[in-house]
């Protein structure tokens, strides 16, 4: 029974990897198309702020897809979810949100909430990096 479940899990993870590769590829092509379309419409080569924010947001979305692909791949190979990669994906996602954020649309407490999320992710990233440095944390000498 256990081997059947493991085999099922491997098939699902393989399917997720293939789908993520497809989505990242299509998203990259779409991003290229958006850039070309924005550059070759009047006024030529000049992009307004909304176009730039859309491009940057889409660019970070592709990076999130790549990081998710890395997470799934690591789980497939090592059967372990790397917390560092998950925190990095969350940091990229919140950075994307901040870049495309229109401050006028949010209440002050919502902005404070976003700031708290950023601080928590930064702290988590710092702790993870600290833990992975040999000799800085007792018991982590390798």
In a domain, 47, yes or no: yes
> Residue 47, CB half-sphere, CA atoms under 13 Å: how many?
14
Whole-structure pTM value: 0.71
Whether 124 has a pLDDT exceeding 90, the answer reads yes
For the chain, the domain total comes to 1
Q: Which two tokens stand for residue 116?
A: 């708290």
In a domain, 141, yes or no: no
- pLDDT category, 140, cuts 50, 70, 90? low
Q: What is the CA angle 105-89-31, rounded to 5?
A: 70
Q: What is the DSSP letter of 101?
A: -
pLDDT of residue 15: 95
Instruction: Determine the average pLDDT of the residues in 60-74.
Output: 88
- pLDDT category, 54, cuts 50, 70, 90? confident
- Determine the 3-state secondary structure of 40 from DSSP: coil
Q: Which two tokens stand for residue 107?
A: 């209440």
Q: Which two tokens stand for residue 72?
A: 């799934």
- pLDDT category, 138, cuts 50, 70, 90? low
In a domain, 140, yes or no: no
Q: Which residues span the domain enclosing 55?
A: 2-132
């Amino acid at each position: 029974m256990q081997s059947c479940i493991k085999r099922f899990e491997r098939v699902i993870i393989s399917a997720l990897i293939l789908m993520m590769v497809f989505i990242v590829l299509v998203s990259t092509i779409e991003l290229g198309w958006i850039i070309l379309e924005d550059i070759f419409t009047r006024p030529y080569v000049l992009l307004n702020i909304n176009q730039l924010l859309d491009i940057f947001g889409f660019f970070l979305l592709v990076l999130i897809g790549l990081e998710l692909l890395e997470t799934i791949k690591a789980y497939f190979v090592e059967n372990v979810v790397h917390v560092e990669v998950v925190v990095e994906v969350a940091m990229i996602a919140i950075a994307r949100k901040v870049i495309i954020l229109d401050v006028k649309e949010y209440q002050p407490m919502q902005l404070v909430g976003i700031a708290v999320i950023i601080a928590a992710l930064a702290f988590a990233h710092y702790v993870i990096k600290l833990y992975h440095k040999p000799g800085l944390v007792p018991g982590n000498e390798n």
